[in-house]
Amino acid sequence: MNSTRAHRIVFANEKGGTGKSTTAVHVAVALAAVGHRVAALDLDTRQKTMARYLDNRAATGRRRSLDLPTANHGVLSLLTPAGLDQEVARLGHGADFVIVDTPGRDDPLARAAIALADTLVTPMNDSFVDLDLIGQVDAETFKVKKPSFYAELIWDLRKVRAKADGGTVDWVVLRNRLQHLDAHNMRRVGAALNELSKRVGFRVIPGLGERVIYRELFPQGLTLLDIDAIDRVGLSLIAARQELREMVAGLALPDHSAQVRMAI
């Protein structure tokens, strides 16, 4: 990829349990699988889920003599915005993409990371509980009343970014864990998100479904791309790979979409 610096993809959501780290790892591996140089930085110094996932991946590669595409990764040690700038620059040197996974809370580091993003990805579970983070909905009509505090925060940080270097932040809201049992509620959430997207300025794309396979893959650090290394391959895995294909394409990252669609 021809670029003066790495494209920065930041995964951020103040709520936990949205599949943020799992999604970040799958995007990192999808990009590495087609030859991009990928770096990954974990800001969650307590749980370190993304870093642990990639550590497990490296250990599996060594143990089973597998050449698994991966990202050069680390955990932020200097917990200041200046430290974040330094580590993103260090990891990003010579890389095509830097992926940053933020903790599931609001803190100065998460805000600083959002302001650095070229692509900001906010995974959310497909429910009104998670939707409340970015927009308040009328209890009777399910129409959006107004954007919530997180949408206002992102709006302010996008202005910070524009003032700092003239850059823009492509904000993508990712509908993870889509359920098919409650289709009526799913349509209501979708309609509210579409309305909010026009008012606040984000794109909505489908994410990863609620599947046991993701929890099973974590200890070995494997992803849906590692089909030859997975013991049992069934229809569920095939469906999950299609979800991953659509999600990565929907991110519309520079110079990769066609390659990744062919690789998955």
Q: What is the pLDDT of residue 39?
A: 97
Please work out, in degrees rounded to the nearest 5, the angle formed at the alpha carbon of residue 205 by the alpha carbons of 197 and 187: 75
Both tokens of 52, joined, read: 């642990």
Answer positive or negative: Cα dihedral of 20, 38, 223, 54: negative
**Is 97 part of a structural domain of the chain?**
yes
Beta-strand (E) ranges in 84-202? Answer: 97-101, 119-125, 135-137, 144-147, 170-176
Q: What is the pLDDT of residue 69?
A: 95
Q: What is the pLDDT of residue 23?
A: 93
**Is 1 part of a structural domain of the chain?**
no
- Position 47: which residue type? Q
Of 262, 255, 264, 261, nearest to 6 (Cα)? 255
- For position 254, which CATH number holds? 3.40.50.300
The domain of 49 spans 7-263
CA distance 36 to 243: 21
**Other residues' Cβ atoms within 10 Å of the Cβ of residue 67:** 6
**Is 91 part of a structural domain of the chain?**
yes
Phi, psi dihedral angles at 147 (to 5 degrees): -65, 150
- pTM over 0.75? The answer is yes
CB 123 within 8 A of CB 90: no
Domain count, the chain: 1
128: helix, strand or coil: helix
Which run of H or E residues covers position 68? Answer: none
CA distance 86 to 173: 27
Phi, psi dihedral angles at 213 (to 5 degrees): -55, -35
Q: What is the pLDDT of residue 241?
A: 84
**Is 197 part of a structural domain of the chain?**
yes
**Is 216 part of a structural domain of the chain?**
yes
**Is 134 part of a structural domain of the chain?**
yes
* Ranges of residues in the chain whose predicted pLDDT is under 50: 2, 257-258, 261-262
Q: What is the pLDDT of residue 126?
A: 78
**Is 2 part of a structural domain of the chain?**
no
CB 99 within 8 A of CB 28: yes
